[in-house]
Amino acid sequence: MTVERPRILTGDTPTGKLHLGHYVGSLENRLALQDDYDCYFLIANQHALTTRADKTHDIRADTVGIVKDWLSVGIDPDRSTICLQSEIPAIVELCWYFAMLLPFNRVMRNPTLKTEIDDKGLGDTYSFGFPLYAVGQCADILAFRPELVPVGEDQVAHIEMTREAARRFNQFYCGVDPHTEDADYVKEGGLFPIPAAKIGRVGRLVGIDGKQKMSKSLNNAIFLSDTPKQVKKKINAIYPGQSREPTDPGDPDINPVFDYADAFIKDKNLIDDLRTRYRKGDNLGDGHVKAHVIDAVNELLEPIREKRAALEGPAGDAKVLEIIKDGARRANEVAEETLALAKEKMGFNFAKRELTLS
Ligand code: TRP
């Protein structure tokens, strides 16, 4: 007998290449959870339209690219389901229903949306679909009725909104008492578990500007596909937060290079030693600390680069397209079931639907 494993859903928007912030914020968690959970990893290509509606072919290329990044870090399509948002129609339908359960002003107050509007300089020119994507993310998640959503810290506001949508659905259509504890919603008859965010080892990795979180749009990222030379150049360019000679006492706490040391150097004694010497001004230059960080990052990235290189070209593309097709089949089995159950709870179950993919 196969025991059903609890489900996980998480995803990335295909905006280009994944970076170290993605790795420590979420990818690493996904790898660790692949065996114990039934994992669904979603490529949110419809969300990429929020800022690039005129560039769908670029989004397509980035979609293939992101799957290659996932495979390179060790996401295993035999154990986990890699699925493409635009191939899962139940998500869009659920989005409509959840959009009716969340107050408009509640969505517009979502701090992640606000930050994105600032970071990307969207002003007031963003599309109607832009705030809608946050509701869409509730549907991405709830379509899979997962227990956990492994994400970086920046996504927590979206998960919080998802939890609100799930509670309200369960209250309106499944008769669950609003005073129910989150953990008990399903036991009390709710369709949707109230999913929890699972934050990575480093919830927010600072970018090479030393100030903001690492992000492609802020131009401060080290990509998983960067060459050893690029990694070296980028880390060497980080401002250590203070100007000092190797013999001056320094403050590692205001030096972003130490954030990278913590995130990537495996030998904790080495990090402690570097910190202590930095504080004392024990003949420890910033270049020396950076050299250790560069080695550690390159050691992490080397096998990823090798796997990525093996996926380049038409054969790699073909493999990815097969994975996407197979994943669509597996993902739709769950999402269609969720939608049918949701419509049943709402009394909207007039005809049964079979989704066929070819
Ligand atoms: N908004 C997420 C990001 O940009 C990507 C995403 C889309 C996601 N749907 C999701 C993450 C569902 C977790 C769960 O990183």
Could you tell me the domains of the chain? 7-204+313-346 (3.40.50.620), 228-310 (1.10.240.10)
Query: Is 94 close to ligand 1, i.e. is its CB under 6 Å away?
Result: no
Count of alpha carbons within 13 angstroms of residue 86, beta-carbon side = 11
pLDDT at residue 203, as a whole number: 85
- Name the residue of 42, 162, 218 whose CB sits within 8 Å of the most ligand 1 atoms, as the mutation to test its pocket: 42
CA-nearest residue, atom 5 of ligand 1: 12
Judged by phi (left if over 0) then psi (alpha if -120 to 50, else beta), residue 329 lies in: alpha
Our answer on whether the CB atom of 213 is closer than 6 Å to any ligand 1 atom is no
- How far, in Å, is the centroid of ligand 1 from the Cα of 168? 21
Please tell me the predicted confidence (pLDDT) of residue 2.
Answer: 59
Q: Which pLDDT does position 349 carry in this prediction? A: 97
Span from the CA of 10 to the centroid of ligand 1 (angstroms): 6
For residue 154, report the distance from its CA to the centre of ligand 1, in Å: 10
Is 140 touching ligand 1 by the criterion CB < 6 Å? yes
- Position 120 scores a pLDDT of 86
Distance (Å) from CA 286 to ligand 1 centroid = 36
Return d(Cα 99, Cα 301) in angstroms, integer.
40
Describe the crossing of helices 156-174 and 111-119 by its angle, rounded to 10 degrees.
Answer: 140
Q: CB of 13 closer than 6 A to ligand 1?
A: yes
Q: Token pair of 1, please?
A: 């007998």
Tell me how far the alpha carbon of residue 14 lies from the centroid of ligand 1, in angstroms. Answer: 10
Whether 15 is in the pocket of ligand 1, judged by its Cβ within 6 Å, is: no
Instruction: Show the low-confidence residues of the chain (pLDDT under 70).
Output: 1-3
* C-alpha–C-alpha distance, residues 190 and 168, integer Å: 10
- CA dihedral of 107, 109, 114, 115, whole degrees rounded to 10: -110
Gyration radius from the chain CA atoms: 22
Long-range contact set of residues 273-278: C-beta below 8 Å, sequence gap at least 24: 278/250, 278/252
